[in-house]
Structure 1
Amino acid sequence: MSKNTTRRWGMAALTAVVCIGSTALTAPSAPAAQPTLRTATVSSASQYPEALRAAPRISRAEVLARAKTWLTANNGRPVPYSQNKYWKDGYRQDCSGYVSMALGLAKPGPNTVALKNNGFTRRIAMSQLAPGDLVIKANSSSADNRHVVIFDGWADSAHTVYKSYEQAGGVGTRWKQHSYGVNGRDGYHAYRPVNIVG
């Protein structure tokens, strides 16, 4: 083999090595794994971390004051209930949209499952409930069988009934006494919003 042939083979091998190295350096890498949110039946769950970071700190008194506004926001009447419509302030007219409004969360607000599972609240004992806390039932795949109410205070010394604000089907916004969650067997549990202060 001549010197020129050896030189050509050497150059070809060097070129091949450089090309392979260049390809390895510029080849796209696999995207980094993104943290998985526990979303259950929540749509657009990717919005929740940002919305949660943007959630304003809010006092218990402010939560209740905001909740009261929907009692008369509809020309002196309650805001009507709807799972598909949005009120003038941009929040959904269902129970979780109403709670999101009261807590000052990003519009249109997370649904009931997200309120429970996506870091907006933490579970507490029913005995720890304080005004502005929530009582949530979110263990159904049907939106018609899930619900959330805003705790306003115990109605009796035995803590068997409490006062609450809610957005209820067929009724709209109302202040009502409930016993959801008191017996511990109906799927309702107490939760504390993480953006509440005090």
Structure 2
Amino acid sequence: MNATIDRTLFNERVTSPPARLSLTPAGSVPGLLDGAWWPRSRDLSRELPALLDVLDARWGRITRVTVNPAHWPVIPHKVPVAGRMVHVGWFADEQDPHKLILLSYTAGRWDLLVIPPETGAVAAARLMSAAATRSSLLTASALLAREDITRDARETLNREEEWETEGGHASATAGNLDPAGCLSSARGR
């Protein structure tokens, strides 16, 4: 019995899911960011081709990408995109750890907020909207910090609301009643 291998399966490019991306409207007043990208993983070799396919059509041919290595375990030197190679570089101290910089020889530079892949859909939607706001003066790290503060405040409010619905202040006060039903205090009666 002879086995044959269909080589067409190995030559086909595995397509990535579409990039999750939000960009500032064309012609808007420039801000510190040109939008946001929400990758599905921290694998640049897998994530960049889908992103660059979309951006090449909108911004022109992207030739170089830079990242901060703080959140990317492996940074390839080049990534194949649509039959060509895109150079990938990194800057540890000079570049915001939550920003991706895209360069084109013919069209310029764009900066995108990189939303961590593990971010929930609701928070990611808020971040994508904030990063695509016209003339925003918030950095990538500032947007993520603001989201963390907002999330913490929401969690605190939710805990307080839960405490109140479970009896809250009335329940805690009821524990301080003496047998006659009167409130007792630390100072005495």
TM range (shorter): under 0.3
TM-score (norm 2): 0.22
TM-score by length of structure 1 reads: 0.22
